[in-house]
Every structure is written in C-alpha cells, then in structure tokens.
Amino acid sequence: MPRTNHLLVLLLVMLGLVLAGCGKQSGGLPTTYGKRSGNAGASVNGTKVLSEMFRSAGYWVKSYSVVSPSLLKNDVIVWVPESFEGPNYEFQQVILNWLAEKDGRTFIYIGRDFDASVQYWEEAIQKVPPEQKLDTMRQRSLAIQDFDELRNFIAEEEDYYFFKTERDAPRRVAKSLRGPWAKDIDASKTNIVLRTRILPATTDALYEGYDTLDSDEPPVYAVEDIDVLLSSRGEAIVTRMGSDYSDSQLILVTNGSFLLNLPLVNPEHRKLAAKLVNQCDRDSYSPETVAFLETGDYVDIRRADDTTDATSGWEWLSKWPLNLVGLQMAWWMIVLCFALYPIFGRPKQLPAAETSDFKKHIDSVGDLLEATDDHAYAQLRLQQYQQIMKGDAVYRRSKTRRGEGK
C-alpha cells in the first residue's frame, strides 16, 4: 500500500472515532497520551498519524522510551511527554550537546496541556441522537474533570531555560493566526486550544551567566536565534530556536491540539503538521531518521546504550507470562519440526516389495493359524495340506453337536 494511501486510511479511522461510536462509555475510548505504536497508537491522544506523515516524507521512524546513545544517533527527535513538566537541567544539557554535536539536527518539544478526549465528546454532542445527548454531555464533563485534576499538579510558574510556563492563563481558542506558518491556513477552520502559556526564552536570558571561557559550559550558541513561526494575538504557538551557523534547531510547540491523532482529522491542522515535517528538512542537510521520545512522569537518561529502548512491536513477547510460556512453546515447536521433518543426507530409494515370494505366503498362513489359538485345528489344517500334496483323500474336522460330548 502506498504511503499516502496508508496515511489516508489512518485519518479515515480517526474520523470514524468521531462519527461512529458516539454515546459509548468513556471507558471504551482510547485516550493514552503521546504514543505511536501498539494499541495506544489508535488513541485520540496518540501520535500515530504524525509519525506516518514523517514516514510518508521519507524518514525512518522509531519510538524510544528513554534517552540513550541510540536515541541520540537520530537526526530528528520529537519529544511528546505525558508529564506536564518540561526538561530538567540534565536533559537541557543533553539537548544542547546533541544539537551542537552535528549540524542540521532538530529537536521538537510538544507541550502536554491538551486532552483530545474533551474535543471528542464536544464534537460527539453535535452528532448523537437526542436520547444519547445527556450521556454524552456527562462523558464530556468527566473528561474535563479528569484533565483538570491532572493540571492541578502543574506549578503555577516554572522556568525550563528554553521557555517559561504560566499555568493559570484562561482557556482560549486561536481565532487568528500570524507568522510564516499562517500562510495558506484558514484560521476560522482550525481548532487550536491554548491553556498553559509558554513563553520562549530571549537571547539575553539564554546567555545570562554564561562564561565563554569555560569549556564545560553547555553550547548555548546552538539555540541563539529565536523566531516565532506561528502565533495568535501575540502569543507564540510554535517557536524556532536555532542557529544559522549550524542549521540545528529546537522547535517549541505549545501543545498537541493540532498534532495529535484526533486533531489531525482537520485538514487545516494537517497543513500545519506538514509545515512541521518540512521544517525539519534543512537547506544544507537532509535528515533521514526521526525518533519519537515517549516518556512518562520523568525522563530516564542512560549513559550506556540499551538495545531494548527502541520499540519494534514485538515487546509483548518479553512480558510475563508470555515470556515464559512463549519460549517453552517455541522450543517444543523446534523439537517437533526436527522430529517430523528430518532429512539427513540424500534420500535413498528403498527396494520395492516382492509379491512372488512363497516364503511370505507361508509366514502369513502361520500367523493366521497362530491367531486362532487352537492347536488341534492348526494340526488338522496341516494334515489336510499334506494329504492334498500327496493326492490322498481330504479329511474334514467333525463338528460337535449341541448336547453331545466332544
């Protein structure tokens, strides 16, 4: 199947989530956040569609759950954390060093402050029959309640070096769009929801306290240029922090309200996602690999490489009890194959069985006589044979009548 057709099928499936199944309990709606593989890839909060857009553009795409040397070999890293927290100090140093290590690299951060399940139930209210509308409204309220409970753990204000966050900004929808990415985008048809305000750092803030003579200082010069690619009423939605010298860049996206699976059903959102994919293709460099970093409450940074951090789709074989039962079954299947289908050397042609061997006839008659378990009868049959061969009269075995003795 061509890649473009494969992407179209994915989008139709996501559209079916909105048009069909409305009014079901929220327990049946997959809402896992920030995953692209396995069952979580079909979640309304998944990144399967975005990853397929990268794949359709010619990139090799993998998923990682930890920061390891194998992850840092990729040209593009898309970080979609499930946590509302940004990068800690250690991860900030890893990002800067990775960007400075090789030209043409791109690190994409997608903020967490969005839940597509709320959008799902909002759209479902307009499509369900009247008798299901009350239950759908209840599901929407539950989704909002669950998401607000998660947001309560966000710090009111936080500084993550590359950007600062303000939690208590009111919920708002971007009605107008500005910036290079706003070209050919109909803002009235988009549905970009903004919650936590992300304020990109300024150049002065990046270099504050920076000692150019200290060789141990992180390479801040990798993100010294700051450009707002998409904004609404002066608020940055997508920001590029990069260097014209190395052509490496860090892209900050406020949240996934136009990049997750369900929002990408919207054609205008797909245009914005395509601009994000194209932004990774630099003028002087052609990246080939994209890594989706899928983390939970914290970022696990490993100095030694871990060959199991990249998910291939066969991880379920390493989970209990399949890891125990599966290995035993595989071992027995191998033994069975060797037992049923062994061929050692060239096959030989066995000699054909002879049908004219009189000895076999004698053996068969002997077996039949032995099966009767009657010695007298066997002797009589032998005498009859001898009489026939000598030409004498044939004697028959007398039958014992009922009531008479033998």
- How far is 104 from 123, CA to CA, in rounded Å? 40
In angstroms, the Cα distances linking 212 to 93, 207, 220, 376 are: 16, 9, 10, 118
| Same domain assignment for residues 46 and 158 | yes
- How far is 198 from 236, CA to CA, in rounded Å? 7
| Same domain assignment for residues 113 and 207 | yes
Mean pLDDT of 3-20: 48
Q: Please check whether residue 331 lies inside any domain of the structure.
A: no
Among candidates 180, 198, 143, which has minimal Cα distance to 272? 180
Which of 280, 299, 318 terminates a domain? The answer is 318
Q: Residue 385: give the domain boundaries.
A: 364-396
Q: How confident is the model at residue 362 (pLDDT cuts 50, 70, 90)?
A: confident
Q: Please check whether residue 314 lies inside any domain of the structure.
A: yes
| Same domain assignment for residues 181 and 264 | yes
- How far is 70 from 303, CA to CA, in rounded Å? 10
**CB-based contacts of 1: which residues, under 8 Å, 6+ apart?**
9
| Same domain assignment for residues 52 and 177 | yes
| pLDDT(14) > 70 | no
- How far is 54 from 34, CA to CA, in rounded Å? 16
**7 compared with 303, residue with greater pLDDT:** 303
| Same domain assignment for residues 136 and 231 | yes
Arithmetic mean of pLDDT over the chain: 83
3-state secondary structure of 353: coil
Of the ranges 20-34, 60-74, 219-233, 273-287, the best mean pLDDT one: 60-74
pLDDT one-digit tens code per residue, 146-203: 999 998 888 899 999 999 999 989 999 999 999 999 999 999 999 999 999 999 998 8
| Same domain assignment for residues 373 and 246 | no
- Evaluate the omega torsion of the peptide bond into residue 287 and state whether it is cis, within 30 degrees of 0: no
Are the C-beta atoms of 35 and 46 separated by less than 8 Å? Answer: yes
**CB-based contacts of 184: which residues, under 8 Å, 6+ apart?**
271
Which of 318, 342, 374 terminates a domain? The answer is 318
3-state secondary structure of 61: strand
pLDDT one-digit tens code per residue, 369-396: 888 888 888 888 888 877 877 765 545 5
3-state secondary structure of 242: strand
Are the C-beta atoms of 400 and 406 separated by less than 8 Å? Answer: yes
- How far is 334 from 207, CA to CA, in rounded Å? 62
**299 compared with 3, residue with greater pLDDT:** 299
- How far is 174 from 233, CA to CA, in rounded Å? 8
Q: Please check whether residue 406 lies inside any domain of the structure.
A: no
Among candidates 69, 63, 24, which has minimal Cα distance to 40? 63
Mean pLDDT of 70-82: 95
Q: Burial letters for 115-134: b for 16+ Cβ neighbours within 10 Å, e otherwise?
A: bbbbbbbebbbeebeeebbe
Mean pLDDT of 272-282: 93
| Same domain assignment for residues 228 and 130 | yes
The burial class, CB within 10 Å (0-12 / 13-18 / 19+), for 146 is: middle
Q: Please check whether residue 401 lies inside any domain of the structure.
A: no
Q: Please check whether residue 345 lies inside any domain of the structure.
A: no
Instruction: Name the domain count of the chain.
Output: 2
Q: Please check whether residue 118 lies inside any domain of the structure.
A: yes
| Same domain assignment for residues 244 and 392 | no
| Same domain assignment for residues 282 and 369 | no
| pLDDT(317) > 70 | no
pLDDT one-digit tens code per residue, 111-125: 999 999 999 999 999
Q: Please check whether residue 347 lies inside any domain of the structure.
A: no
Are the C-beta atoms of 95 and 218 separated by less than 8 Å? Answer: no
| Same domain assignment for residues 389 and 258 | no
Mean pLDDT of 277-292: 88
Bridge partners, residue 250, by sequence: 107, 241
How many alpha carbons fall within 13 Å on the CB side of residue 357? 8
Q: Please check whether residue 349 lies inside any domain of the structure.
A: no
| Same domain assignment for residues 314 and 371 | no
Percent of the chain with pLDDT over 70: 81
Which of 288, 318, 348 terminates a domain? The answer is 318
